[in-house]
Amino acid sequence: MNDPRPAPLSLHDQILHQDRRHKYRRRRIIITVMAVCTALLLAGTGYAAVTAVRVNDNVQRSQALNGDQTVPKLTQDTNILIMGLDTRVDEKGQPLSADLYEALHAGDQTIGGYNANVLMVLHIPADGSKATAISIPRDDYVQVAGIPGQTFNTKIKEAYGYGLAAARTDLLNQGKPDDDSTYQTARDAGRKAQIATVTRFLGSVHIDHFVEVTMAAFYQVAGAIAPITVCVNRATQDTYSGADFTAGVQQIDGKQAMAFVRQRRDTTDSSYNFTDLDRARRQQAFIASVSHQLKQVGTFTDLGKMQSVLDTVSKNIVVDAGLDLIQLARQASSVTGGNISFTTLPITGFGTSPGGESINTVDIAQVQATVKDLLNPPATTTAAPSPTEPPAATDGTADGGNPVTGPVTPAPAGAGNGPAGTPAGSQAGPPENTYADWTGSLQGGGVPCVK
């Protein structure tokens, strides 16, 4: 079947793919979900009830989920899709301050796009049992859903931008003014497309709520709670991201936190390669470390500073109209005690799209079986299943049956001494909390040591 991807729309030329044509292409920051998780965990640790109330009242709301859920809700569990965008503007479409651009080290508002570079589903069981965070690799090549009249394959992160672009073009063709109202309507269309695409890909998973994050929110919260304790398996440096970490446990500030979740190479050792999958593990480790830190007594001493930061964060996130952040904080409070595991969905290998882009090839049946096991573990299972050992081969097709051009490189297996994805011994951290690569489940409750 030929790829029915439509011709690029003008907004894509202006926004979605600007980073591909610009010198900053290799310096894009992965927008992480940690800002939102951190904000929720703050409320969950008992930090000033008025703070949660103010954030709940001030945060921007979206109607993207209203009336458009095609998957029925069958349980009382809660599934939250967290989306991190690579845009260098705020949720109103306005440029950030000059000092923020300097701190982010990622260019200005002319760089970046509306790619959902971070996609994570947070599953919170109604019975208080262990929560599960599922990371979706951003370059998974899948079939887009939720864009009226259009069906094509692309990287899963791009559904948001394509949905936004199609809606904006349609609105302008209808004679709507090119103003904030049109912009916000198009943004909601982008959210709908991203949610629908994720829902289809995961196997008709009901999404109860969503949270959308900008990079400013992450930086501001990371800076406020610094120093943050993290751990890496070996010393590593990267001039692109600014990463400069020694082996083992260490404390980092806000800028170093950006580098920690952004690093994708070691510029001092070309053989020590990073991929987006390794960055997803870094993101998971960061959340686990921060949630552990927030549980400690005396983490916060400057309540005025925290209030100011959370007020700022509320301007840089968007949530669905039905999400009650206060209730969610109560539900998620057990996460700070380590009652959570993190898993990255499996891929079959690395390939090239018909348009020449690097992609992850996927086995959609394997992905959906993995998700089903993670969200509905067997009663006799005491640990999260490890679904990430890739098949021995792939037929070079992607979700929806579109052919992948060029050779497909099998996904790397685990590099530890045990089975793929199990914690491997290291001098950098405790063996029971050390992870050699991105495979398998990372457990909360401490400071994990990762690649």
Pairwise pLDDT comparison (287 vs 49), residue with the higher score: 287
At residue 177 the predicted structure's pLDDT band, cuts being 50, 70 and 90, is very high
Q: How many domains does the chain have?
A: 1
Torsion of CA 184, 189, 195, 196, to 10 degrees: 170
Average pLDDT over every residue of 62-77: 78
Mean pLDDT of 428-449: 84
Confidence of residue 302 (pLDDT cuts 50, 70, 90): low
Residue with more model confidence, 420 or 53: 53
Residue 445 region, left (φ>0) first, then alpha (ψ -120 to 50), else beta? Answer: left
Range of the domain at 136: 10-450
Residue 327 pLDDT > 70, yes or no?
Answer: yes
Tell whether 311 is covered by a domain: yes
CA-closest candidate to residue 438, choices 382, 388, 396? 388
In a domain, 282, yes or no: yes
Mean pLDDT of 104-129: 78
Spatial separation of the C-alpha atoms in residues 104 and 442, rounded to whole Å: 28
Whether residue 435 is contained in a domain is answered as yes
Q: Is the dihedral of CA 390, 391, 392, 396 positive or negative?
A: negative
Q: Exposed (0-12), middle (13-18) or buried (19+): which is 312, by Cβ within 10 Å?
A: middle
The CATH number for 338's domain is: 3.40.630.190
Q: Is residue 1 part of a domain?
A: no
pLDDT surpasses 80 at 326: no
Q: Across the chain, what does the average pLDDT equal?
A: 76
Is the residue at 5 inside a domain? Answer: no
Q: For 253-265, write each residue's pLDDT tens digit.
A: 988 998 898 888 8
pTM of the model: 0.80
Q: Which residue has the higher pLDDT, 54 or 138?
A: 138
- The three-point CA angle 405-420-139 to 5° equals 30
| Residue 3 resides in a domain | no
Is residue 308 assigned to a domain? yes
- The Cα 371–Cα 374 span in angstroms is 5
Please indicate, yes or no, if residue 2 is contained in any of the structural domains: no
What is the rounded distance in angstroms from the CA atom of residue 53 to the CA atom of residue 55?
Answer: 6
pLDDT interval class at 306 (50, 70, 90): low
